[in-house]
Amino acid sequence: MKKIAAAAVLATLSAGTLAAPETYIIEGSHTLPRFEYNHLGFSTQVSRFDKTSGKIVIDFAAKTGSADVVIDATSVNTGSAKFDEHIQGEDFLDTAKYPTITFKADRFKFQGDRPAKVEGRLTIKGVTKPATLTVTTFHCGLHPMVKKQACGANAFTSIKRSDFNAGKYAPMVSDQVTLTMPVEAIKE
């Protein structure tokens, strides 16, 4: 009887350990947020940010999570140094005053065993607005290079530049911008 009770206690402790929240640190060389917009009706322009950091906490058993993402707005990469400078100016990102863009999420909505929506607050140019990222792909497993658990996802949302005091040239340059977040994170 004591062996059965001990086994039950061990099983409970093991299950509790597995159900604990897990922290993942964003891996910056594979987390390169992109933004795209229509340029004068001629084309859809796609640019990215080259420096992102932060962490994601996820509890798969409780189906909860949080995220704290910091994008270095000065790392904007349009493919043209002159245009990067233009995007960093006061009319758009104003990186001299606001060098970072942040996304702080406090609610994950799951579909089955994977996150489907991440709800939080997006801050650009000191303006904070609610934002929901729709998760299109999600995968966790052993990372073959670092030999640690890792999770990766692709997610997107749509915002209006003018909501963040960055609406110069709208509507000729679309006010609507799609933000895409490919993210990879390594378990702490």
- Which tens digit of pLDDT belongs to each residue from 52-64? 999 999 999 999 9
The closest of 24, 72, 43, 37 to 161, measured between CA atoms, is: 37
CA–CA separation, 73 vs 49, rounded Å? Answer: 7
CA–CA separation, 80 vs 75, rounded Å? Answer: 12
Q: Please give the model's pTM, rounded to 2 decimal places.
A: 0.88
> Span 98-103, mean pLDDT?
98
C-beta separation of 122 from 103 below 8 A: yes
- Which tens digit of pLDDT belongs to each residue from 110-140? 999 999 999 999 999 999 999 999 999 999 9
pLDDT value for 21: 96
Residue spans per domain, the chain: 20-187
Residue 111, amino acid: Q
C-beta separation of 158 from 179 below 8 A: yes
Top-level CATH class of 20-187?
Answer: mainly beta
CA–CA separation, 53 vs 185, rounded Å? Answer: 10
